[in-house]
Amino acid sequence: MKKFYAHLGDNLSASIVVLLVALPLCVGIALASGTPIFSGIIAGIIGGIVVGQLSGSQLSVSGPAASLTFVVSAMILKLGSFETFLLAVVIAGVFQILFGFLKGGIVGDYIPNAVIKGMVAAIGIILMMKQIPHLLGYDADFEGDESFLQDDHNNTITTILTALNFLTPMSVVIGLVSIIILIFWEKMSVTNQKWMRFIPGPLVVVLVSVLLNVFGSSIIGTNPLEQKHLVSLPMANNIQEFASFFTFPNFQQIIIPEVWLAGFMLAVIASLETLLGIEAVDKLDPLKRVTPSNKELNAQGVGNIISGLIGGLPITSVIVRSSANVNAGGKTKQSTIFHGVLLLICVILIPSLLNKIPLSAIAAILIVTGYKIAKLSLFKELFQKGIHQFIPFCVTIIAILFSNLLYGVAIGIIVSIFFIIRGNFKSAIIMIQDNDKYLIRFRKDITFLNKAIIKQKLESLPIDSFVLIDVKKADFIDKDVIDEINDFLCHIHLKNISVSFSLHEYNPNHLLINYSKR
């Protein structure tokens, strides 16, 4: 019981912030996927309560992922119905549990830190750019979209430019006032106004924005915002109508191979998204706690099974809501569970009140969140670590901005591998000079990939010099490299170069160049 109350205030405050962020995202992702609106809400509730309880992560928040909208809509089209797709979601959950038992979570451990931090920064930049149109009152794109290219043949940049031509004055005023409140509230809460920490700034923003829309429109001479500029949750007048929001899988299609293939593909994609998500959240965690990845896959699997059984979208760990949780001061998984409970209570009891929240206020919250996770200090940190970290970091950001999360991370990993190989090339063979004496030392396994380096170093030796080639620390030397050294020995007399070798007592590669020659 003492543990329950340890961080109760911080977690409850953070859960309200996550709730405010999750509400429009759940609805927007469902609309973009071509599924019933409540399917996104179901996924958010299950991701908070069920996955939050079973997960080993203290700060990760799970729910419907914007990056899966295209996959979901394509699968529904191929399978023929939403009910059959729900069956694929259930099957995906079973596969995820299997992945967890087979220790598939280890995949996340092979993602370079520079790529993970690039992914976090990219999400922050995307949040800011994608929310600018909503802040200006242009809500043509769905809330939560993360892709550069959009279904309407526009992209992130052209949408911002278009939004400038469709300004909604009330939205702009609400958005700017909201940002000012968030900045002021944070500065005051970290100085001498400690009581402000228990009242989340985003909650104040929502309350002020609703009042400003209702009563402030007359002050600036405009009408209140239309419903298309407000949060839009489904409302039920009675229990029977609320029950109609739930959809159930079509188990008669379980024998169709396409359903199992869709479930497997969905499990792979959702698992990769989750592993990336928890790696990113662990980097954001001030305490640097490590999430057990296999346990997380099991938790996600159970969540997807339940979500699919009652009509919810696929669930993954999502960075936007998780980063909002971290920035709002969440301390343990309580905040994730509380947000799920609050989401359930809100859609049952007060959907009409939530539907008065302006999207520009939510946009302001997300813009400030994006700024915090894509902070300049992160760029400075990676720059100070050198180009082998900074370039993969930047490439990952650019790739995600102009494609999507999975493609961007894949490109970032490829660039990181290039720098790893490049670094191994440089450190595998070193050359030290002392006047006209040189030492060339092989420090690692030497393969044909190192042939160009050893050739360049040998041919750079000046006339009348002496070189000692030390291979004692090399467990393996490729035959191509041996041939290159022997070719060099054939013409050292042209430069009057003396060569000596320091070899293993036993050389498994049969290196036969153990002699000195002047």
- Whether the predicted pLDDT of 476 surpasses 90: no
pLDDT the model gives residue 135: 96
> In the predicted model, what is the mean pLDDT of residues 344-359?
93
- Whether the predicted pLDDT of 210 surpasses 60: yes
When pLDDT is cut at 50, 70 and 90, the band that residue 162 belongs to is very high
The amino acid present at 435, given as its one-letter code, is N
Please say which residue of 324, 359, 374 terminates a domain: 374
When pLDDT is cut at 50, 70 and 90, the band that residue 473 belongs to is confident
130 and 41 fall within a common domain: yes
> Helix, strand, or coil here: 440?
strand
> Does 417 fall in a domain?
no
Q: CATH number, domain at 488? A: 3.30.750.24
pLDDT the model gives residue 518: 36
316 forms beta bridges with: 63
46 and 134 fall within a common domain: yes
pLDDT the model gives residue 188: 79
> Does 281 fall in a domain?
yes
37 and 176 fall within a common domain: yes
- Which of these, 463, 454, 510, lies nearest to 487 by C-alpha position? 454
Highest-scoring range by mean pLDDT, 116-120, 147-151, 443-447? 116-120
Hey, what are 360's tokens?
A: 């520009």
- Whether the predicted pLDDT of 453 surpasses 90: no
Cβ burial, residue 32 (10 Å; 0-12/13-18/19+): buried
pLDDT the model gives residue 133: 95
Lowest average pLDDT, out of 148-157, 330-339, 391-400, goes to 148-157
pLDDT tens-digit readout, 393-444? 999 999 999 988 889 999 999 999 988 877 776 677 888 998 889 999 887 7
pLDDT tens-digit readout, 81-95? 999 999 999 999 999
Helix (H) or strand (E) holding 432: strand 429-434
Cβ burial, residue 150 (10 Å; 0-12/13-18/19+): middle
- Whether the predicted pLDDT of 199 surpasses 90: no
368 and 442 fall within a common domain: no
Please say which residue of 374, 390, 405 terminates a domain: 374
pLDDT the model gives residue 505: 54
When pLDDT is cut at 50, 70 and 90, the band that residue 479 belongs to is confident
Whole-Å CA distances, 518 to 188, 281, 463, 467, 491: 78, 62, 12, 11, 11
244 and 348 fall within a common domain: yes
What letter would DSSP give residue 318?
Answer: E
- Whether the predicted pLDDT of 292 surpasses 90: yes
115 and 257 fall within a common domain: yes
Cα-only R_g, the chain: 29
pLDDT the model gives residue 134: 95
Q: Which long-range contacts (CB under 8 A, 24 or more apart) does 341-344 make?
A: 341/48, 341/49, 342/15, 342/16, 342/19, 343/19, 343/22, 343/23, 343/26, 343/41, 343/44, 343/45, 343/48, 344/45, 344/49
Whole-Å CA distances, 381 to 41, 111, 114, 121, 384: 38, 18, 10, 12, 5
> Does 509 fall in a domain?
no
491 and 367 fall within a common domain: no
> Does 430 fall in a domain?
no
> Helix, strand, or coil here: 312?
coil
- Whether the predicted pLDDT of 445 surpasses 70: yes
pLDDT the model gives residue 195: 66
Please say which residue of 374, 398, 415 terminates a domain: 374
When pLDDT is cut at 50, 70 and 90, the band that residue 225 belongs to is very high
- Whether the predicted pLDDT of 271 surpasses 90: yes
* The residue to which tokens 């919250």 are assigned: 365
316 and 204 fall within a common domain: yes
74 and 188 fall within a common domain: yes
Whole-Å CA distances, 502 to 440, 476, 506: 10, 15, 12
* Mean pLDDT for all residues in the chain: 90
> Does 410 fall in a domain?
no
pLDDT the model gives residue 446: 83
- Whether the predicted pLDDT of 116 surpasses 80: yes
440 forms beta bridges with: 431, 469
Hey, what are 293's tokens?
A: 């990845």
pLDDT the model gives residue 216: 78
pLDDT the model gives residue 508: 44
> Does 419 fall in a domain?
no
Hey, what are 228's tokens?
A: 């298309």
pLDDT the model gives residue 9: 87
362 and 464 fall within a common domain: no
> Does 386 fall in a domain?
no
pLDDT the model gives residue 214: 87
- Whether the predicted pLDDT of 67 surpasses 60: yes
As for how many domains the chain has, the answer is 2
Instruction: State percent of the chain over pLDDT 70.
Output: 94
Highest-scoring range by mean pLDDT, 158-167, 307-316, 348-357? 307-316
In whole angstroms, what is the distance from residue 393 CA to residue 400 CA? 11
In whole angstroms, what is the distance from residue 277 CA to residue 431 CA? 43
Residue 442: give the domain boundaries.
435-502
31 and 146 fall within a common domain: yes
pLDDT the model gives residue 222: 75
- Whether residue 446 contacts residue 478, with contact meaning beta carbons closer than 8 Å, is answered with yes
467 forms beta bridges with: 438, 499
> Does 389 fall in a domain?
no
When pLDDT is cut at 50, 70 and 90, the band that residue 355 belongs to is very high
369 and 442 fall within a common domain: no
pLDDT tens-digit readout, 500-509? 888 765 454 4
In whole angstroms, what is the distance from residue 427 CA to residue 36 CA? 57
